[in-house]
Amino acid sequence: MHSVLARLLAASVLVALCSITATAWLAAQSTSTSIRQELGAALAADAATYRSLVTFAVEHRDWTGVTLPGGNRRLILTTPDREVIADTGTDLDPAQLPATPSSVINPLELDLVQAQDAPADRIDARVTGPFRLTERERGSLAQDAELYTVRCLGPAEEQPVPTTAWGRPIVNVNRTEPAPTGPACIEAQERLSTLTSGESAALNELGVLVNDCLRQRGLPAEQIKMNASWQPVSSNADCLASARRTQLQPYVAPPALLFVTDAAGRTTQATVVRFDVGRIVLVAAVVLVLTVGVSVVVALRMTRPLRTLTAAAERMRDGADAQVDIRSRSEIGQLARAFNDMAAHRARTDAQRKAMTSDISHELRNPLGTIRSWLEGARDGVVELDRTTLSSLLDEALVLQHLIDDLQDLALADAGELRLHPSEVDLRELFDQLVAAHPGLVATGGGVVHADPVRLRQVLTNLVTNAVRHTPAGGTVALSVVDGRITVSDTGSGIAAEDLPHVFDRFWRADPSRARDTGGSGLGLAIVHALVSAHGGTITVESELGRGTTFTITLPAR
């Protein structure tokens, strides 16, 4: 019991600790998630402002003329040194600005929160710098692209021609295949696959910057080239991005800091949530104490019936009364009821065992005593073993043999080793044999059943013999077949209602004196029940005290 109680308490404490920990963790996670969602919503509301400011920085080389959108929020744009560039409010005290701005406006280093579709180097693709073509170069290359794709490659190759951010058409010139015929096509192909002087100078400048970065890192120099989409490529992406920022810096507005405040001018800052660890521990301790207290009460209530059952089991071991008084409807109550049933069954079994031992002793004592006394008298010369005496001794030996055969049949039936040899049995023929052996027996009906003929004759013989024994002179014993069921009925003394449940018990007899003239060993009906069950059939009994008894046998169809 102590082990069960300890396990229940340990399980309760573990569940309480896990529940407290999980609840605290979920509360912290929910609060943090809510804060992040609110901050995300605020940043999403500022996304349009961020994009418009980045566009202005791409298109201008300084912040002159920049305007900020109005609304219920105050927007402040400053230089990295906190000098105000633009402000939607008035009377700003730079000391009130928080240490961290809402976002940094820099097209050469985009904010990944606001510009989630930014390229890997975080440089706005619209910034072209020295690579930008003149209007004349754009027009000329556009004409070459139209000539090359429409007239030189043929209508089958006609499709929209993409362009770079600085205006160069991106035409796939495959030099591994024969060049298009005609001088105009060859010249257009050459111009479309060759950098202009401005592009060449810009690429050379970029190459110098990249090689400077590589040299500072102790890496070998390399030549920067353009890929098929006319984008510069390098084996070192970091140096290429750094070189591009250096090259493009003069062509965009310098970085600026954007601050967002409320309408009253109070700056908005990230909310920091602090959890009071002491209070959490205190609450956890209170909950844990309550949990342990409730668990102790529940565990004691649960283990008390178990202790009662244990004491009852110990009483059962000592042979005393083992009934328990537990009226609960729970599983423990069901266990108690099952225990009481088991104890009652054990008591009945023990009583039956004792009664059977006594009955077997009684059944064996009489014939053995008779045989012994006659044999001792013959040995001492007191009794002469004539034919009559030998017949009496043989009858006693047959009684012993019959008892032993009955016990063996029951043992085989209990072990499931009772062998049957079923065949077609003519009931009319079997009834005639029984009538010949028992004068006065009335047999009607007939038919054919599938059964072991020897065992079926044994069953009916036991029933008929039992009926004849308990039917006085002038009474009737009938054997018949009704609706496929075999019945054996008599008009004898009958069986009391309280005795009917025991008629198939071993060594049970209505006459407890066990006088030889009122019945046999008490095994006949038990054997009948075992043999019928071995055939897969059933046997029932109906009786009324003083009016007779009817046994009904139902055998399964073949």
CATH number at residue 455: 3.30.565.10
What lies within 8 Å, CB to CB, of 354 at 6+ separation is: none
Dist CA 83 CA 63 (whole Å): 12
Residue type, 325: D
Give the pLDDT score at 550.
94
If asked whether residues 239 and 182 sit together in one domain, one would say yes
Of 267, 332, 215, which Cα lies nearest the Cα of 75?
267
Q: Is residue 304 part of a domain?
A: yes
Q: How many CA atoms lie within 13 A of 125 on its CB side?
A: 12
Angle at 446 between CA 443 and CA 450, to 5 degrees: 125
- Specify whether the CB–CB gap between 486 and 475 falls below 8 A: no
CB count within 10 Å of CB 260 equals 18
If asked whether residues 170 and 238 sit together in one domain, one would say yes
Of 490, 502, 479, 392, which Cα lies nearest the Cα of 428?
479
Give the pLDDT score at 178.
58
Count the domains in the chain. Answer: 4
- Specify whether the CB–CB gap between 539 and 496 falls below 8 A: no
If asked whether residues 37 and 141 sit together in one domain, one would say no
Give the pLDDT score at 488.
94
If asked whether residues 499 and 541 sit together in one domain, one would say yes
- Specify whether the CB–CB gap between 131 and 125 falls below 8 A: no
DSSP, res 558: -
- Give the domain-ending residue among 214, 234, 249: 249
User: Terminal CA-to-CA distance of the chain, rounded, Å?
Assistant: 56
Give the pLDDT score at 98.
76
- Give the domain-ending residue among 226, 241, 274: 274
| Main-chain phi, psi angles of 446, to 5 degrees | 180, -155
Radius of gyration (Cα) for the chain, nearest Å?
A: 55
Q: Is residue 122 part of a domain?
A: no
Give the pLDDT score at 268.
52
Give the pLDDT score at 514.
47
Q: Is residue 303 part of a domain?
A: yes
Q: Is residue 397 part of a domain?
A: no
Q: Is residue 269 part of a domain?
A: yes
Dist CA 434 CA 432 (whole Å): 5
Both tokens of 392, joined, read 């009496």
Of 501, 409, 401, 404, which Cα lies nearest the Cα of 459?
409
- Specify whether the CB–CB gap between 264 and 271 falls below 8 A: no
If asked whether residues 425 and 549 sit together in one domain, one would say yes
Dist CA 364 CA 268 (whole Å): 108
If asked whether residues 112 and 140 sit together in one domain, one would say no
As averages over each run of 10 residues, the pLDDT of the chain (558 residues) reads 64 75 72 62 69 90 87 83 85 76 89 83 89 88 81 62 85 62 78 86 91 91 87 90 91 91 56 60 78 77 77 79 74 79 79 69 74 83 80 78 75 76 90 88 90 89 89 90 90 88 76 52 81 90 91 87
Strands 103-105 and 225-226: unpaired
What lies within 8 Å, CB to CB, of 195 at 6+ separation is: 203, 226
- Specify whether the CB–CB gap between 158 and 91 falls below 8 A: no
- Specify whether the CB–CB gap between 510 and 530 falls below 8 A: no
Q: Is residue 22 part of a domain?
A: no
What lies within 8 Å, CB to CB, of 136 at 6+ separation is: none
Dist CA 554 CA 511 (whole Å): 28
| Displacement of CA 51 from its chain's centroid (Å) | 51
Give the pLDDT score at 269.
46
Q: Is residue 4 part of a domain?
A: no
DSSP β-bridge partners for residue 441:
477
Give the pLDDT score at 118.
85
- Specify whether the CB–CB gap between 396 and 371 falls below 8 A: yes
Of 348, 299, 346, 304, which Cα lies nearest the Cα of 326?
304
Q: How many CA atoms lie within 13 A of 428 on its CB side?
A: 4
Residue type, 78: T
If asked whether residues 481 and 542 sit together in one domain, one would say yes
Tabulate helix, strand, coil % of the chain (nearest 5): 55, 10, 35
If asked whether residues 99 and 134 sit together in one domain, one would say no
Q: Is residue 541 part of a domain?
A: yes
Supply the pTM of this predicted model: 0.43
Of 436, 432, 461, 454, which Cα lies nearest the Cα of 444?
432
Dist CA 485 CA 282 (whole Å): 80
If asked whether residues 197 and 90 sit together in one domain, one would say no
If asked whether residues 54 and 107 sit together in one domain, one would say yes
Give the pLDDT score at 154.
61
If asked whether residues 543 and 439 sit together in one domain, one would say yes
- Specify whether the CB–CB gap between 540 and 475 falls below 8 A: no
- Specify whether the CB–CB gap between 267 and 75 falls below 8 A: no
**Residue range of the domain that includes 344:** 298-361
If asked whether residues 166 and 95 sit together in one domain, one would say no
Quick one: three-class SS letters along 335-350?
HHHHHHHHHHHHHHHH
- Give the domain-ending residue among 361, 388, 404: 361
SS3 at position 528? helix
